[in-house]
Every structure is written in structure tokens, then in C-alpha cells.
């Protein structure tokens, strides 16, 4: 595998659950005008789709295919079947019938029903970039009190009619912008980097210190993406690299947080470098085991959902990933552990662009933030598509 590609969570602007509502799911009734795929293993068979080229492959070409427990991907696959892509109706019916099947039966069904296709760019390159994202869990307060002074806002009433809306800096300084957001506060967090992290990820869980649930524990709600100010995203990580805070190879979310702790006076300037402001809506978290909705409109599954460029891969498509586990930067890193597994394309993001491109959903809880923040690995990927079914065209 090639050497690590440059990029980082906030350099690339990845982890864009923030575009869950920015882009509507692909139509499920779009005409299937592309040629029907040939059988798996048909030498030379090619499908051109949007910015990507799919090359027919054999199952034996998928690195680590026999080692993954595909049973763990089945709930995500069945969830995607609630909003299937064209050509998936029959396959989804079969996937639902196998919901209680064992590993051997599931693997046999996949190989009998689907065909693997290696994803390439239009230039024929098959190595791209894997990054990671997660759902943060942040302490918050309903009221502005003590250290909880950084607001998370619901969309202003004029967001749809005033485009672009005020920049991040203008929201902090202009009376008109502040007046438009008065009373729109969902909650307050204590650290401006926590607010930025929620905005970059686009969704997060808030543990309210001043509200209790039925069991007497702090109430947890979800702050879900509800729009943004229509300003371009600018990477604070790149801003720091350009100022010599660290190198491009060292850039990661943990490195950004460490710099902020050492340079608190410069944090406002760093934040102002990104003019985009994301707004949220409050959602009840009735089941803490259920992930946030991705762009496909189904809940994301930790370790089995990815965000993709939908010009390359339709939502709901099973994808075989060949990448590595993230690890801390080091001039002499140890050999990386492979990350080779079956995942489902269920999300997208404005920075998730390219034919061979995936943002891997690490979920929430201990370790998710660190792994997502460090993930920037080379990637190869294969789509698994129902045999004999045409591939839908890209959405306009």
C-alpha cells in the first residue's frame, strides 16, 4: 500500500454528518440507464459512474475478505434496505430473510447474490483516502452559567432568505446577527473547541448538567444538523499548519486541541479562520444504542457505516474497505494494523469528494474521538452490487 496521503480530520473537513441535510438522498425511482453489470470475475468489464470507474473483480481480490465477520455488517445493510437504491429490491428482500442467519450463510449469500467491482478514479487510480468521523458526547447546560458560555444555536428565522448568512466572526460582533440568534440557543458548552467539533461532525450528544432523566441521571439529547450559514468551510488545521504550529503529517484533532490548550489567547483567531457556522435542532435520544441519521436517512452503525461521494457510490451500497487502523504520528511508526471489512455507504459530506474516498464512522464513546481524529490512511475499495442489475445514474 502507498505511503500515507496528506490530510487530517480538520484539514480535509471530514466527518461531515454536517451534510446529512445538505444533500437529499438519491432518488429511489431514478431510471437505471447504465449498462447492467457483467458477472463477477468478467475480465475487462467496466462501468463508468459519475466520477468513478468500476472494474469487475473476483472475490479473491478483496484483501482480508475471509477474515471479516460479515454478520456484524448485516444490521447496517438491512437498515439501508429501508431506502434501497434502484436495482436492490430483490437483494434487500433476501437480506431481510437472512437477518437471523449465521456467518457462513450470510457470506454464501453475498457471494451468490452480489458481484465485486473495484472502484477507480477516471484516471485509473485505485488508491484514495480514508478518514474518520464520530458522534461527540459533550457536557452542556440549558442555561448560560459558570463555564458554560458557548452557545449552540438553532437556525435563525431568516436563514433561508438571507444567503449567505453572517460569518462566524460577524455572529460574534454584529448586533444584527446576535439579535437574530437571541432565543435560538439550544444549550451552552464550556469549550469553544467542543462547539467547533460538534459543528464539524454535524451531530453530537449533549449530556445536560442541569436536567435529569427518569432515572435521575443527567439527561442526554442529540444536537442534529439543521443547516449552516452558506459560507465555505475553511480548515482550522490547515490554518495552524500554515502558521507553523505543526506539520501536515502531524496534523490531527488531538494536535489541534493540544495547541489550543497551550495558546488560549489565539483560539478566537483560529476559530474565526473558519467562516462557516452550523446550526442544530434538538432530538430526543430515546435509545442510546441508535446512531444519528446519515444522508441516506437511516441510522449510522459504528464501524459499519461510511460516508462516500455519491457520484461514485450510491447510498445503501455494501463496500469492501482495504485500509489500516489510525495510529499516532511518529517519524518511525510501527507497522499499521489492517482495517479490512464490509461496510455500507450511508452518508456523505461536502468534503468527502473523490472516487476512492470514505469517511469511516467510529461511533461514540471512549476512543471514538481519538481514532477518528487520527485517521488519514490510504484506501482501496470495492463496491458489491447485485448481479445482473443496472447501476443507477448519478443524481443531478
Cα distance between residue 248 and residue 270, in whole Å = 17
Percent of the chain having pLDDT more than 70? Answer: 88
Task: Kindly state the average pLDDT of the residues 88-96.
Answer: 96
Cβ atoms of residues 103 and 72 within 8 Å: no
Residue 381 sits at φ, ψ, to 5 deg, of -150, 150
Cα distance between residue 48 and residue 173, in whole Å = 49
- Listed in sequence order, the residues at least 6 apart from 365 whose beta carbon sits closer than 8 Å to its beta carbon are 137
User: Per-residue pLDDT for 31 more than 70?
Assistant: no
Residue 31 sits at φ, ψ, to 5 deg, of -65, 140
Rounding to the nearest 10 degrees, give the CA dihedral for residues 259, 263, 267, 273.
-70
What is the tens place of the pLDDT at every residue in 333-385?
A: 788 899 999 999 999 987 799 999 999 999 998 888 888 888 989 999 999 99
Instruction: Give 210-215 contacts, CB < 8 A, sequence gap 24+.
Output: 210/141, 210/142, 210/143, 210/145, 211/142
- Listed in sequence order, the residues at least 6 apart from 219 whose beta carbon sits closer than 8 Å to its beta carbon are 207, 208, 211, 212, 213
What is the tens place of the pLDDT at every residue in 168-222?
A: 999 999 999 999 999 999 999 999 999 999 998 888 999 999 999 988 999 999 9
Which domains are delineated in the chain? Answer: 16-128+294-386 (2.40.40.10), 136-235+274-284 (2.40.240.50)
Residue 316, pLDDT score: 96
Query: Global pTM?
Result: 0.80
Residue 365, pLDDT score: 84
Cβ atoms of residues 54 and 383 within 8 Å: yes
From the number of C-beta atoms within 10 Å of its C-beta (0-12, 13-18, 19+), residue 261 rates as exposed
Cα distance between residue 190 and residue 145, in whole Å = 9
User: Per-residue pLDDT for 18 more than 50?
Assistant: no
Query: What are the DSSP calls for 227-249, one per residue?
Result: EE-SPPP--HHHHHHHTTSS-TT
Cβ atoms of residues 318 and 375 within 8 Å: no
Rounding to the nearest 10 degrees, give the CA dihedral for residues 302, 305, 306, 310.
-150
Residue 107, pLDDT score: 97
Amino acid at each position: 500500500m502507498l505511503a500515507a496521503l496528506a490530510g487530517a480530520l480538520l484539514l480535509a473537513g471530514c466527518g461531515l454528518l454536517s451534510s446529512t441535510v445538505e444533500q437529499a438522498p438519491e432518488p429511489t425511482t431514478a431510471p437505471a440507464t447504465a449498462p447492467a453489470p457483467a458477472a463477477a470475475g468478467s475480465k475487462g468489464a467496466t462501468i463508468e459512474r459519475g466520477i468513478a470507474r468500476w472494474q469487475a473483480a473476483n472475490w479473491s481480490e478483496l484483501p482480508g475478505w475471509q477474515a471479516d465477520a460479515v454478520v456484524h455488517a448485516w444490521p447496517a445493510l438491512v437498515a439501508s434496505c429501508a431506502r434501497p437504491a434502484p436495482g436492490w429490491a430483490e437483494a434487500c428482500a433476501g437480506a431481510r430473510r437472512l437477518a437471523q442467519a449465521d456467518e457462513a450463510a450470510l457470506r454464501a449469500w453475498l457471494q451468490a447474490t452480489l458481484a465485486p467491482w473495484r472502484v477507480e478514479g477516471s484516471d485509473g487510480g485505485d488508491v484514495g483516502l480514508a478518514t474518520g468521523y464520530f458522534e461527540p458526547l459533550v457536557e452542556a447546560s440549558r442555561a448560560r452559567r459558570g463555564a458554560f458560555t458557548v452557545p449552540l444555536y438553532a437556525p435563525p428565522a431568516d436563514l433561508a432568505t438571507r444567503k449567505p448568512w453572517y460569518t462566524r466572526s460577524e455572529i460574534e460582533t454584529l448586533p444584527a446577527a446576535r439579535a437574530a440568534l437571541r432565543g435560538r440557543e439550544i444549550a451552552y458548552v464550556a469549550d469553544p473547541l467542543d462547539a467547533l467539533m460538534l459543528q464539524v461532525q454535524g451531530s453530537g450528544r449533549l449530556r445536560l448538567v442541569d436536567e435529569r432523566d427518569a432515572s435521575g441521571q443527567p439527561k442526554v439529547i442529540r444536537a442534529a444538523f439543521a443547516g449552516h450559514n452558506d459560507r465555505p468551510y475553511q480548515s482550522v488545521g490547515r490554518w495552524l499548519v500554515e502558521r507553523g504550529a505543526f506539520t501536515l503529517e502531524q496534523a490531527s484533532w488531538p494536535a489541534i486541541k493540544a495547541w489550543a490548550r497551550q495558546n488560549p489567547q489565539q483560539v478566537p483567531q483560529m476559530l474565526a479562520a473558519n467562516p462557516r457556522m452550523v446550526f442544530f435542532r434538538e432530538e430526543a435520544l430515546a435509545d442510546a444504542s441508535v446512531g444519528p441519521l446519515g444522508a441516506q436517512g437511516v441510522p449510522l452503525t459504528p464501524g459499519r457505516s461510511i460516508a462516500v461521494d455519491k457520484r461514485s457510490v450510491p447510498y445503501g451500497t455494501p463496500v469492501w474497505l482495504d485500509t489500516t487502523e489510525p495510529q499516532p504520528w511518529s517519524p518511525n511508526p510501527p507497522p499499521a494494523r489492517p482495517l479490512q471489512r464490509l461496510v455500507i455507504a450511508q452518508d456523505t459530506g461536502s468534503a468527502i469528494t473523490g472516487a476512492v474516498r470514505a469517511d469511516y464512522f467510529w461511533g461514540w464513546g471512549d476512543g471514538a474521538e481519538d481514532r477518528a481524529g487520527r485517521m488519514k490512511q490510504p484506501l482501496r475499495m470495492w463496491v458489491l452490487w447485485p448481479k445482473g442489475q443496472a447501476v443507477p445514474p448519478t443524481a443531478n
